[in-house]
């Protein structure tokens, strides 16, 4: 099996560099707003396929709000 490149893992940070290798990142440096935006973008696409609006559910915290 040939290897075509390296797999680099990183975290998004709030400092001037904006990213760091996972091994160097600290929890207090994480840019949580960026992670929330990424999660929202993914979930909106998923929810759209289910005909559910993100704005309707973003404040809900329990599954029983969906009648489950």
Tokens of 32: 């949580």
pLDDT value of residue 61: 63
Measured in whole angstroms, how far is the alpha carbon of residue 65 from the centre of its chain? 23
**11-48 confidence digits (pLDDT tens):** 999 999 999 999 999 999 999 999 999 999 999 999 99
For the chain, the structural domain boundaries read 10-66
Q: Tell me, what's the pLDDT at 63?
A: 64
Q: What is the pTM of this model?
A: 0.66
User: What ranges in the chain are assigned the alpha helix state H?
Assistant: 32-49, 54-57
Residue 55: pLDDT band with limits 50, 70, 90: confident
């Amino acid at each position: 099996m040939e290897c075509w490149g390296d797999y680099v893992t990183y975290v998004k940070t709030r400092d001037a560099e904006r990213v760091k290798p996972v091994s160097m990142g600290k929890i207090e440096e994480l840019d949580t707003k960026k992670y929330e935006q990424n999660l929202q973008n993914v979930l909106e696409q998923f929810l759209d396929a289910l005909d559910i609006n993100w704005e309707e559910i973003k404040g809900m915290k329990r599954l029983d709000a969906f009648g489950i």
